[in-house]
Structure 1
Amino acid sequence: MNTRAEPPVEDFARTADAAVVGKDLAFKDLGLKVGDRMVIEPPAKLGEQPGVVKLIGWVNDLSVLVTMPDTRAWAGPPIEGDEIGVRTFSGRHAYGFSTVVGKRSVRPFEYLHLEFPRRISMRQIRNAERIATSISARVTDADEPVPTVVTNLSATGAEVRVWSPGRAVGDKVSLELVLDIHKVRTRIVVTGVIRNQHDTVDTGEPAYGVEFEDLNAQTSVFLKSYVYQNLVEQPHRRL
């Protein structure tokens, strides 16, 4: 078994926003590495909650090997012949394809052989991609830290519920929030400018639109990772 694919196979989907326009998108073009996370959507008979797996490797034009997902929320484990959807992201692109479980192996540990994908769709993830959130945060540049909630988030800004005492459009603000990135709680502090005040769509509560400024490289990576992770694992949260 190889963990790197051979030259591109034929019959992959062409996509309008492909990184290399006019060429077929091969599995190796996804830029995935052994151990990268992928999200699988189970067949309806098993449930609706997506599961997370890790890439073990692949044999070009034959099979993709992934770890067994946590199936406790499903009616049972996937078996041979089950159709599943797979989503993942790499760099600034989200990918998806449909496949079939070719074999479920239990030795030396449980893992799945998935049929090699023949058609892969791709969508570019832009910095402005936003996701709905409910992240507890603190305003840290007040006399004392003030609690608030981040109701949506992107790599470049956030919607934050109005806190008391309030601020004016154009004011700067410093926010502390904790992001759950692949089950690791990561604390970040961001500084931004309040660009507008409006009512939230879902509850009608007043909120500020905050544009982040002067993000350091590490914080930028954390924000993008959190947004991309949620776009892949919970696409219904995309705004």
Structure 2
Amino acid sequence: MADSAISLVPVRVAELAVGKPLQRPIYDWYGNLLLASGCVIESQSQLDGLVSNGFIYDPNWDLAPAPRKAPTVPIPSRKTSPPPEVSGEDPNSGNKETIVAMDDVRWYVGETLYLQLIDNPTIRYTVRLIGFVKNKTVFVTQPAVDGKFEYVRDGQTFVVRAFSGKKAYAFVCSAVKSVHTPHPYLHLSFPKEVRCAVVRRGSRAQVRIIASVSLGQPERVGAATLTDMSIGGTSGIIKQSLGSKGDEGLIKFKVHAAGQDEYLSLKTVLRSVTPAENGEGYRHGFEFLDISMHDRLILSAFVHQTLAEGI
């Protein structure tokens, strides 16, 4: 488990290749190890997942000087001062928001951005950052749905959200111009300010997802309404008490991550059962067990996208 003070930045596609060993370990955005240094990427889909949701240790983001010795896996614990914007806060407290300038954020070409129409919040697009010209324009790939480019009118206003390392960013901008040749891309207005929140390791995304749950032997099955989720677990309401603490089973649900629907079937253990707050049913708390790298990448993408939408 990575130290919470360690700074992570998105992995770059140029550092990865199918069939070649990793030069550095790759983590999810919580700091959990996905692939250790020396492991070989076995397929293009695995590589794409790592590019979308993988992070590497970057000492340039640390406030304290990085040690001369290269970090090992797991990253050794180091005593560093907490970032100024969260100094003195309880680790379990909410995320504190600050305002930063666009060019103060260490954006990378290929960074995933989420666009949400202000006048129709149900419309959301996933795009990639191409670059920006300070105080003038931000270049992103043309929004597409099911492989088809979407028409974006000049002047349409978006809330744009992104993750970089353990920080979530959000800003408001408008479409300046769609360019269709030689390659489609979109000009966005340059934001005056960007809101930034440091996301805690234990942060839970507020969700509303219908799931199928099976627990124990003999197997008991029920439908749950999941209300929050993290990379490590979830909780939700079931009409009846489905089991006892320690019962293991499966939980199945669908999430929308990085622009597509993904179906997850995860091994889980029941950690708590209490009467629901509104008196209707029982709240069950689940911990995910033995999550595969593929499923962990999907969960990371979904959770950090949902958390970003909350700032």
SS at match of 1:204: coil
After superposition, the Cα gap between the structure-2 partners of 1:191 and 1:29, relative to the gap in structure 1 and judged at 3 Å, is same
Q: Is 1:119 matched with 2:193?
A: yes
Identity over the aligned pairs, expressed in percent? 16
Matching residue of 2:137 = 63
Matching residue of 1:208 = 284
Q: Please give the TM-score of this superposition, normalised by the length of structure 2.
A: 0.54
- Match of residue 298, structure 2, among 206, 222, 228: 222
SS at match of 1:65: strand
CA-to-aligned-CA distance 1:98-140 (integer Å, 9 cap, x gap): 2232322222354311123331111122223232222322315
Root-mean-square deviation (CA), in Å?
Answer: 3.5
Matching residue of 2:253 = 178
Instruction: State the 1:96 CA deviation.
Output: 0.6
Matching residue of 1:100 = 174
Instruction: State the 1:64 CA deviation.
Output: 1.5
Structure 2 runs not aligned, ≥5 long = 1-83, 88-97, 146-150
After superposition, the Cα gap between the structure-2 partners of 1:120 and 1:217, relative to the gap in structure 1 and judged at 3 Å, is farther
- Distance in 2 between the 1:60 and 1:187 partners? 40
- Match of residue 51, structure 1, among 104, 111, 124: 124
Structure 1 runs not aligned, ≥5 long = 1-14
CA-to-aligned-CA distance 1:18-74 (integer Å, 9 cap, x gap): 9xxx9955447344441x432223353xx3324213124113414221233359xxx
**CA contact under 8 A between 1:177 and 1:189: conserved in structure 2?**
yes
After superposition, the Cα gap between the structure-2 partners of 1:78 and 1:16, relative to the gap in structure 1 and judged at 3 Å, is farther
- Match of residue 143, structure 1, among 218, 223, 230: 218
Matching residue of 2:42 = none
Matching residue of 1:9 = none
**CA contact under 8 A between 1:138 and 1:146: conserved in structure 2?**
yes
Letter of the 1:185 counterpart: E
**CA contact under 8 A between 2:225 and 2:238: conserved in structure 1?**
no
Letter of the 1:223 counterpart: L
**CA contact under 8 A between 1:83 and 1:100: conserved in structure 2?**
yes
SS at match of 1:16: helix
SS at match of 2:105: helix
**CA contact under 8 A between 1:177 and 1:188: conserved in structure 2?**
yes
Q: Please give the TM-score of this superposition, normalised by the length of structure 1.
A: 0.68
